[in-house]
Structure 1
Amino acid sequence: MSIVLMIDVYLIRKVANQEKIYQEKLPLSKPQKFLIFGLLVYFVVLYAINGNIQSLLELFKESPKMILSCTMVALGAGFFEEYLFRGYLVNLTQRILNRFKIQHNRLIIISISTSLAFSALHLLNLSVYPSSLAVYQQVFYAFGSGLLFMIFRVLTNSILVVAVAHFLFDWQSTITGNLPVSPWSDILLTFLPLIVIAIVWLVSLDKTIEQKQIVESKP
């Protein structure tokens, strides 16, 4: 699996301009920086309240085989999914927009379309997990996390940073177990604000990119 993952990363880096979306650093306004700070705090809090820290500590109490299994699954999910969706699919969407000569609102179109594709991927879990409700909830919060990861992707101009963040979020003892079912009220309360803030920030940055005429790397 490691070899396949390395080949996947190499090929997508080659296609996706060595991971760069823009040719220069993006200028952020104070409100945009404030929202980013809020999203970073949100990510850390979400990591804590989701039980990731406790689950990671519990993982190291398991057998070496279990630790290796969970680590490889988290690595595979983090790197494969990020290089596929925030790498190749971002690049592909850029090409499609260029093909139809769409120059406005490109970032929000790319972000929402790739996040929808990322969340839809999780529908495959309907054939694996017994609870369809848990899968539908996963699809919803995968869309929110997809937007958040896309923001990290744009800010860092790198897929690697996002892949590591995704890996750390998945790296826990429960990754190979069944999906938990939560009340929809908890899911909405946790992820709906994230989705709204992320979309507001992406729309705002889209306008900045158009006003400053920031040039995308050629897809």
Structure 2
Amino acid sequence: MKQTRWTWQILLVLAIILFALLFGIDLGAKLILFPGTSATAINLRAAIRFTYAVIVGGIAYYGLGGTRLLNRLPSMTKFLKIMMTVIGVLLGLLLLISNFPYRVILMSHSNLFLANTLVALSAGIFEEFTCRGLLLSTFATTFKFSKYQYTWAAIVSSGCFGLLHLFNIIAGQGLMITIQQAIYAFILGILFVTIRLTTNSLTWVIVIHFFIDWQPAIASHVMTGAGSPWGPFLMIWLPVLIVGLIYMIGFDRNVWRHAGLSFF
């Protein structure tokens, strides 16, 4: 694992402070600086969020000493290559299930195209630099003596990522849909870690995160509805979780193999 510029304790405290500031900035922009639902107000709030995300990205980049997590990538086994292909296919299917092609059409006709794009970019930059950057490095360090170092780091950092979505209840989002959002955010977080480790970079996860969030009304509304039926919801997301965890365990075993250590 690559040495970070700051200790894991500083990275953890920094992540907490940055998230707290995000909520404060969002509330201040919405309630004090630019209240209302006009296009101008929404665009200005989106610009503030994007600016903050870029600043956070710069701070995290410096503290982490770059975007690489590993000094060098161990050569991928055939098994890991197959699993990464499966993960790529799953992410593509999830985009299709979420009506991504139709969302692109809607976005092209949206009068809030700029705001929606800035908010989606903000989410990709801010959440990846904090969760797959600061938090993943933090927990990869704290679990450095475990055989499942990166698996546990993925689970805990993704758990934090999922729990953060519970704050959408404060914005008026329904309880059930928020719980489901936290669950699939946790699962997506693990998939994002697999890509982060495979590429040893944050670039691809930021891009993928952006496309997942890039949709009409993301800048002006929370998710509506009562959520999906639990049966279909679990049928979709549990296999995705299992695939992600299998990859992570295989990655840890590969790291040990390249270090010349026995995993068992």
Q: Contact 2:194–2:248 at 8 Å: present in 1 too?
A: yes
Instruction: Give the match for residue 156 of structure 1.
Output: 199
Q: 2:92 aligns with which of 26, 31, 44?
A: 44
Instruction: Give the match for residue 125 of structure 1.
Output: 168
Q: 1:87 aligns with which of 114, 130, 133?
A: 133
Instruction: Give the match for residue 96 of structure 1.
Output: 142
Q: 2:110 aligns with which of 49, 52, 62?
A: 62
Q: Contact 2:54–2:122 at 8 Å: present in 1 too?
A: no
Instruction: Give the match for residue 217 of structure 1.
Output: none
Instruction: Give the match for residue 216 of structure 2.
Output: 173
Q: 1 CA distance for matches of 2:234 and 2:79?
A: 25
CA offset digits 1:93-129 (Å, max 9, x no partner): 233335xxx2421110110010000000001011113
TM-score normalised by structure 1 residue count: 0.90
Greater C-alpha Rg: 2
Instruction: Give the match for residue 5 of structure 2.
Output: none
CA offset digits 1:141-187 (Å, max 9, x no partner): 01110011111100111112211110111101142434242111121
Q: 2 CA distance for matches of 1:7 and 1:107?
A: 27
CA RMSD of aligned residues (A): 1.6
Q: 1 CA distance for matches of 2:246 and 2:137?
A: 22
Q: Contact 2:168–2:222 at 8 Å: present in 1 too?
A: no
Q: 1:197 aligns with which of 243, 246, 252?
A: 243
Q: Contact 1:105–1:206 at 8 Å: present in 2 too?
A: yes
Q: 1:141 aligns with which of 176, 179, 184?
A: 184
Q: 2 CA distance for matches of 1:186 and 1:26?
A: 37
Q: Contact 1:26–1:155 at 8 Å: present in 2 too?
A: no
1:184 paired to 2:227: no
Q: 1 CA distance for matches of 2:217 and 2:256?
A: 43
Q: 2 CA distance for matches of 1:130 and 1:150?
A: 27
Instruction: Give the match for residue 256 of structure 2.
Output: 210
Q: Cα offset for 1:4?
A: 2.3
Q: Cα offset for 1:43?
A: 0.5
Q: 2 CA distance for matches of 1:39 and 1:14?
A: 30
Q: Which amino acid aligns with 2:245?
A: I
Structure 1 portions without partners, runs of 5+? 215-219
Instruction: Give the match for residue 20 of structure 1.
Output: 68
TM-score normalised by structure 2 residue count: 0.75
Q: Which amino acid aligns with 1:74?
A: A
Among all aligned residue pairs of Structure 1 and Structure 2, give the percentage whose two residues are the same amino acid: 25
Instruction: Give the match for residue 27 of structure 2.
Output: none
